[in-house]
Structure 1
Amino acid sequence: MIDFCAIDFETATHERNSACEMGICIVENGEIVSTKTWLIKPPSYPYFHPRNIDVHGITPKEVQDAPTFDQIWHEAESLMYGNLMIAHNAGFDAGVLRSCLDYYGFFKPKLNYLCSISLAKKSWKNLPRYGLKNLAEQHNIQFKHHRAGADAEVCAKISLLAFDNLMLTRNDEVTEVMKKNLKIL
């Protein structure tokens, strides 16, 4: 069966290391087993760019007592360990993860990651849009957009539907079919 983790970040500024929320949704044997969300105090604290607040609604006050990324990374990493990582617009989320790891001096785990946009495009040809909100609407999935845990969980649900549509039931099949789209963190 398919095992992966779907991740999502929200950021406080245009800086990739400014994660202010992280969500991870764990999928084991093709089933969502848990979703974990952390508010994070970013290095830019207390500064948040107003545009970022407009997108996700997270304010400096909400993260004033939150842990910093280095304080949550070991727990997050243990959830991701050995998994395929999937994110919607994965280049952004992988970039945020890389930048946070670099900022705090952590080694990058050897993780393969896949963008759920490329997966959706392979699964459902000719949709007008492949944004997370559009794909969720297409599949009647309700969620609070631009909150990390909710976005990660919807990414996992969309990915599972795409795998089912492509008749992929094991990680090695995903690797074979999506090999051109797989990247390493």
Structure 2
Amino acid sequence: MDFCAVDFETANHDRSSACEMGICVVENGEIVETKTWLIKPPQFPYFNRHHVAVHGIYPEDVQDAPTFDEIWYEAESLLYGNLMIAHNAGFDAGVLRGCLDYYGLFKPKLKYLCSVQLARKSWKGLPSYGLKNLATIHQINFNHHRAGDDAEACAKLSILAFNQLMLTRNDEINDVLKKNLKEL
């Protein structure tokens, strides 16, 4: 299995307000790299206090950080040709689209899968499919609501879910989860 797990934290309700991005690269079913970037959002210095309460990232933490367009080419090189997986993927795909649109960047042809849907298919009847609950059940420790940690937890859970479904190759994902795959 080859994929990238992705997570964004946002400064406010605007989809282009990414203040942190994490990507965890999985090759042959193994985590090979996790990369995290703090990002100065276009709305700087405006951060919604509710968002700050969730992730703990303050305007002063990103005042000298690069903007999304400055980190995108490095992030894109990790994502290029890979399946993207995110927990509540609609949100993360929306943030990625919002950032690309804001900066007028080309949207790559990218397929993505939601790890919540993957977990529901793999472990039926759980009381919650939230990232923290799934990580607790599977004894994965992480710093919740920090992009790199969330991406890595998502990657670990996805690997476990693929094993549970006995999927070992990316082409099997298309066969088993085709209706769950979306395109950016």
**TM-score, reference length from structure 1:** 0.99
Match of 2:104 in 1: 105
Identity of aligned residues (%): 76
Q: How far has the Cα of 1:135 moved from its partner? A: 0.2
1:81 aligns with 2:80: yes
Q: Deviations over 1:39-98 (max 9, x none)?
A: 000011011000000000000000000000000000000000000000000000000000
Q: Deviations over 1:110-138 (max 9, x none)?
A: 00000000000000000010000000001
Match of 1:23 in 2: 22
Match of 1:178 in 2: 177
Q: How far has the Cα of 1:139 moved from its partner? A: 0.2
Match of 2:114 in 1: 115
Structure 2 spans left out of the alignment, 5+ residues: none
Moved over 4 A (4+): none
Look up the SS of the partner of 1:97 in the other structure: helix
Q: How far has the Cα of 1:175 moved from its partner? A: 1.3
1:158 aligns with 2:142: no
In 2, the alpha carbon distance for the partners of 1:22 and 1:115 equals 17
In 1, the alpha carbon distance for the partners of 2:83 and 2:62 equals 29
Structure 1 spans left out of the alignment, 5+ residues: none
Match of 1:125 in 2: 124
| 1:36-55 equivalences in 2 (<5 Å) | 36-55=35-54
In 2, the alpha carbon distance for the partners of 1:8 and 1:98 equals 13
Look up the SS of the partner of 1:179 in the other structure: helix
Q: How far has the Cα of 1:154 moved from its partner? A: 0.2
In 2, the alpha carbon distance for the partners of 1:30 and 1:120 equals 17
Cα RMSD, aligned residues only: 0.3
**Counterpart AA for 1:125:** K
